[in-house]
Every structure is written in C-alpha cells, then in structure tokens.
Amino acid sequence: MSQAPVIAVLLGGTSSEREVSLGSGRACALALARSFPTCQFDVTSDAAPAALDRTRHVVFSALHGGFGENGGMQAALEQAGIAYAGCGVAASALTIDKARTKAAVAAAGVRVAPGLSFSATAKPAAAAIAAQIAGPWVLKPNDQGSSVGLYLLDTTAALDAALRDLPAGQWLIERRVLGRELSVGILHGKAMGVVEIRPKSGVYDFTSKYTKGLTEYLAPAPLGDALTRTVQAAAETAFAACDCRDYGRVDFMLSAQNEAFFLEINPLPGMKETSLLPMSARCAGLDFTALVREMVRPALQRFHTAAAVLRPRKNPRIKLPTRAPGGKFPSRSAPARCRARAGSVLRCPR
C-alpha cells in the first residue's frame, strides 16, 4: 500500500464511439504520465479488466458511450473495490438517459426545451407530436453521444418520414432551440470557461465535431460577464442536480432572447487536447496536463482513504513466519502487475 498508485487509463470499449475513446485515452495517458505512474487498458468487452488491482490502480476512464458510460463499468469497478475518477454509478446511469436527465435538471430550476421520449416500437404519430410540441424539432437517440443519429426536422412531413424509418431503441424529440451552442466544463463542481461552438454547416453533428476545420470554437464565448455567469450557474446547478462528481461537461443552446436551454451532461467527455472540456479549462488557466491531474485528484484521495482502512494495524501478538531450512523465509509468488513509473505509459495486461 506504500507504493504510489498507478493511474490505469481505460480506453476503446465496445460502443460506436470506440475510435473517439482511443484518441481521448491516449492523449490523457500521455498527459497523466508526466505526473504519475500510468498504464493503459484497451477495453474490448463489457467488463472491468481482470488485471486491475485495487491495491495498485486508480482508474481514469476515457470510455465513451455504452457500458463504459452508462454505469456498467462504474458498477464493475466498485464491486472490485477499485477507485476511479468521474461520476459514480447512479449519476452515470442517469446522465446517459437524456430524458431522465432533463427531468432532474428541470426540477432544479434549469430551463429545458419541451420534449418527449418514446420507444421506436411504440412511436407516436407525427401529427400527435406536432400537436404537443411546436416545430422545428430535433430527434435523437435517448442514450447515445457524439451527435450520433441526429435528425433536424422542419416540417411534419419530414418528421413523419423520419419516424417511419427510425432504428430500434429509445428516442427523444424536442423543440429545436435556434441560436448559439455553448459548452461549459465542470471541475470539482465549479464551472470553468464557456465555449461557443460554431459549425460551418450550421449543425454540430458527428462530422462537424470530428472533422478538422468544419467547426469554429470561441473560448471564451463572447457573451459578456453577466450572461457568462448565468450560464455557468446553470451548468453548476445541472451538474449538482444529477449528483455528478469530479468533472464533466454541460451543454446548452442559447436562444435569440439570451435564454440558455439545457441540452445534456456528458460525464465522460472527449479528452483530446482540442476537445471542449480542455478548451473550457484553458479559459480558467489550466493547460491539458494540469487539467487531467486535477481530474484524477479526487480519485487518488478516495484510493488513499480506502488504503488507510484496509492497512493492517500493528499487533505484537501476530505470529511471524518460521524460517525454512537454510535460514530463509519461504517465498510467495507475486501476481503480475503493471510496473509503471511516472514519465512512461505501459500497456497493461487485460
């Protein structure tokens, strides 16, 4: 227990966002290795890597979507007694569900756009939706990230066509708020800089998000001090309402009337140096290395707290092992472990 813990970066995963996660994980591992012994685990199944050791590892997850983000991996880590950075099981399960997150955030007083969720196997008719929610609309999967499966719909006919060909799963449809898209990084419960996202196509979809040159980012967003503080306060309220911890990202649409409408909380956001959370952190004076160091700090504290509880107390009545013939104590084989050190990143066994 006396050795410095190794930061185990989880990356890859089994969701549709695997390639995004690989990029995030590698960038974070390199940055973390400047301060801590660090290793990487390429996750290829919906389970915690078997080689993780609660007495040696603190997990920093760069997994996106699916099991890595919906509380599944978090539950597996907790069951194994392994300290990890980021939101806990309940908050992860909540924030992956956009409809439930909206309800929690709205109950805390944060403005949300009108909407409804439904299953593709029990979808309402386009006319029924139009009667309840005025268009235009945005239709998206209820539990996917990275703008996967996004539909922007202006007419009832377009809505009807989208519903006819809707893939299986849970869906969320909302009144589309036309305006400026904003993103706020949260660290230790406090909002950092507000970033404005200006896709050249007018739509911040998967292509605009991950293709260089297709989106302009303004960090900090040119909102003025009063509006900036209003958006930051809404982000902090939403984060707390969902019982999130450590870090995350909260996204909004700002209407022409300067009203901020909550979009979603991302508890495991993209983490390349050019991603939105690092942009927000730079507005607060944190470079990428300093940011990831701060992101993992609460998990390190949880690790050391657990280690103190598990550490055996001194007891003079403990029976010492007897010497074997030849004067040596019997040896025990040690389990395989990551022998990482600060300044390098190891690929750990699965």
Residues carrying an active site annotation: 17, 146, 210, 249, 251, 264, 266, 270
- Give me the residue label for tokens 């066994």: 349
Which residues, at least 6 apart from 301, have a Cβ–Cβ distance to it below 8 Å?
A: none
Return the ∠ at Cα 93 (arms to 90 and 97), rounded to 5°: 135
Q: What distance in Å separates the CA atoms of residue 237 and residue 344, rounded to the nearest whole number?
A: 38
Q: What distance in Å separates the CA atoms of residue 339 and residue 39, rounded to the nearest whole number?
A: 9
182-205 in b/e form (b: 16+ CB < 10 A) is: bbbbbbeeebbbbbbbebeeeebb
Q: What type of residue is 283?
A: C
Q: What distance in Å separates the CA atoms of residue 175 and residue 112, rounded to the nearest whole number?
A: 10
Residues 81 and 53 sit within 8 Å (Cβ to Cβ): no
Q: What distance in Å separates the CA atoms of residue 202 and residue 229, rounded to the nearest whole number?
A: 26
Neighbours of 130 (CB within 10 A): 16
